[in-house]
Amino acid sequence: MDTATHIVMGVSLAGLATLDPAVQSDPVLFNAVLVGTVVGSHAPDFDTVFKMKNNATYIRHHRGASHSLPAIILWGLLVSGIIYLFAPGVSFLHLWLWTFLAVIIHVTVDLFNAYGTQAFRPFTDKWIAKGFINTFDPYIFSLNVVGIVAWALGANPAYTWITIYTVIILYYIKRYMDKREIVNKIKDHFPNTVEIATSPTLKQNYWRVAITTVDRFYVGRVENRHIEIVDEFKKIPLPDLPIVEVAKTDKNIAAFLNFSPVFRWEINEYDDFTEVRLIDLRYRSNDYYPFVAVVKINPDLEIISSYTGWIFSEHKLQRKLYVGDSPI
């Protein structure tokens, strides 16, 4: 989920914590729990600091180790431990439990969007992306805000939060059922389907899909349960060429390959260099695929420049690859 949703979910969880008699009876503990649930609800995303280094590092690590099983435990202990230093008189057990729950909820809800997480590390590095909740879902965000406002206006916290969370759970079930219907329709149409990546949008009735079959990739959209294929590509593995082996050593290409399971490739030759380009097929916007990795390699098989990330025009991509005459 996005930062704003994680924060309002943290505040909401603090409201739910008032059902805990220890929290309800101790204003200092409540304030500590409020800080713990808000910070804990955002803590796994502190890995965005990697973006200050470069996109490759960010893509390779965001929602990786920071969302893993050991990290969930460590975040809960770290956040509650720091808060306890400033409020040593409160019950650490209750503070830790609610903070820990906030971290668990953060990682859990991140599993359901198209980006996903490596939540089951260290047992597996596989990205888990269920793809039926948008990164920012206006319904989930609004329900949490409604609950916070009702609570602030004096509504009974038990009725308020039990109602809000029940509605949110039912919403998740509804969206899962929507995705399952889409997946079943696609499998009926493409019996040799290997994998389906679904990406919900802000519109409830509009989804993007990337379909992998035995020999082809299909990119489509689903609107009002009607599936339309908009692009089709032959499924060809990266060739076993020296220039491709060099490309794979580049940090941007390596980060892309670690993250993107559904992509096509291009090798374009120019006078002074050869370009290897990887294009993620899960994300399509206005007839353009904005998530790419590109590396330029000279005739001596030396990397000139490279880039990976979101880009929405060829002109901007070339600017990312070069600043004046100097590679970046």
Within-domain flag for 208:
no
Same domain, 122 and 246: no
* Mean pLDDT, residues 164-183: 95
Within-domain flag for 215:
no
pTM for the model: 0.87
Same domain, 50 and 157: yes
What is the span of the domain harbouring residue 18? 3-174
Residues in the chain: 328
Same domain, 48 and 153: yes
Contacts of 111 (CB under 8 A, 6+ apart): 117, 119, 128, 129, 130
Domain termination residue (choose one: 122, 152, 174) = 174
pLDDT above 80 (res 51):
no
Q: Is 174 helix (H, G, I), strand (E, B) or coil?
A: helix
Q: How many domains does the chain have?
A: 2
Within-domain flag for 217:
no
pLDDT recorded at residue 318: 82
* Mean pLDDT, residues 33-38: 97
Within-domain flag for 66:
yes
Same domain, 8 and 145: yes
**Residue 100 CB coordination number (10 Å):** 20
Instruction: Report how far residue 15's alpha carbon sits from residue 60's, in angstroms, rounded to the nearest whole number.
Output: 35
Determine which of 120-129, 139-148, 216-225 has the lowest per-residue pLDDT on average. Answer: 120-129
Please give the helix or strand (H or E) that residue 27 lies within, else none: helix 27-42
Q: Where are the alpha helices (DSSP H) in 87-156?
A: 92-110, 138-152
Between strands 206-213 and 226-234, the pairing is: unpaired
Instruction: Report how far residue 40's alpha carbon sits from residue 319's, in angstroms, rounded to the nearest whole number.
Output: 38
Predicted confidence (pLDDT) per residue in 247-270, tens digit: 999 999 999 998 888 999 999 999
pLDDT above 90 (res 50):
no
Domain termination residue (choose one: 155, 174, 193) = 174
Domain termination residue (choose one: 149, 174, 199) = 174
* Mean pLDDT, residues 152-176: 92
Within-domain flag for 187:
no
Same domain, 75 and 165: yes
pLDDT above 50 (res 139):
yes
